[in-house]
Amino acid sequence: MQTHAALDELPFDIASLHAAYEAGTRPADIIGECYRRIAAAQDPGIFITLIDEAVARDEAGRLGPFDREGKPLWGVPFAIKDNIDAAGLQTTAGCPGFAYEAEVDAFTVAKLRDAGAILIGKTNLDQFATGLVGVRSPFPPPKNAIDPEIVPGGSSSGSAVAVSRGLVSFALGTDTAGSGRVPAALNNIIGLKPTIGSISASGLVPACRTVDTISIFALTVEDAYRAFQSAAGHDPADAFSKSVPVPDLTAPPPNLKVGIPDAGSLKFFGDTAQADAFKAALDTVRSFGCETAEIDFTPFYQVAEMLYGGVWVAERHSVIGPLMDRDPEAVHPVIRQIVGAATKYSATDTFNSLYRLETLRRQCEAAIAGLDMLCVPSIPTFATVAELQADPIGPNTRLGTYTNFVNLLGLCGIAVPSGTRSDGRPASVTLLARSGQDGLTAAFASRLHRKAAVILGATGWALPEAPALSISPQADEIAVAAVGAHMSGLPLNSELTRLGGRFLAGATTAPSYRLYSLAGGPPFRPGLVRSADGAAIELEIWALPIAAFGTFLRGIPAPLGIGTVTLADGSAVNGFICEAAGLDGAEDITAFGGWRAYLASRTEPGGASPR
- Span 102-116, mean pLDDT? 98
CA distance 171 to 123: 9
Res. 581 pLDDT band, cuts 50 70 90: confident
User: Which 8-state DSSP code applies to residue 372?
Assistant: S
What percentage of the chain has pLDDT greater than the value 70? Answer: 98
Contact 124, 50 (CB under 8 A): no
Structural domains of the chain, with CATH: 4-268+370-452 (3.90.1300.10), 477-601 (3.10.490.10)
Q: At what angle do helices 347-368 and 298-309 cross, to 10 degrees?
A: 150
The pLDDT of residue 152 is above 80: yes
* Mean pLDDT, the chain, integer: 94
- Span 204-210, mean pLDDT? 95
Helices (H), 290-437: 298-309, 313-326, 333-340, 347-368, 385-390, 394-399
Res. 521 pLDDT band, cuts 50 70 90: confident
The pLDDT of residue 161 is above 80: yes
Burial 443-461 (b: 16+ CB within 10 A, else e): bbbbbbbeebebebbbbeb
CA distance 142 to 609: 54
CA distance 165 to 217: 12
Q: Is 179 a catalytic residue?
A: yes
φ, ψ of residue 405 to 5 degrees: the values are: -85, -15
- Span 543-555, mean pLDDT? 93
455-499 pLDDT tens trace: 999 999 999 988 888 888 999 999 999 999 999 999 899 999 999
Q: Is 531 a catalytic residue?
A: no
Q: What is the dihedral of CA 303, 308, 311, 316, to 10 degrees?
A: 130
What pLDDT score does 3 carry?
Answer: 45
Determine how β-strand 77-81 pairs with β-strand 170-175: parallel
Res. 184 pLDDT band, cuts 50 70 90: very high
- Span 207-214, mean pLDDT? 96
- Span 188-192, mean pLDDT? 98
pTM confidence score: 0.94
426-461 pLDDT tens trace: 999 999 999 999 999 999 999 999 999 999 999 999
The pLDDT of residue 113 is above 80: yes
295-317 pLDDT tens trace: 999 999 999 999 988 899 999 99
Q: Which of 280-289, 519-528, 565-574 has the lowest mean pLDDT?
A: 519-528
The pLDDT of residue 257 is above 90: yes
What pLDDT score does 606 carry?
Answer: 41
Q: Pick the catalytic residue from 156, 179, 241, 378.
A: 179
Q: Pick the catalytic residue from 137, 155, 164, 230.
A: 155
Q: How far is CA 407 from CA 97, 268, 298, 365, 531, in A?
A: 29, 22, 17, 14, 51
Q: Is 122 a catalytic residue?
A: no
The pLDDT of residue 175 is above 80: yes
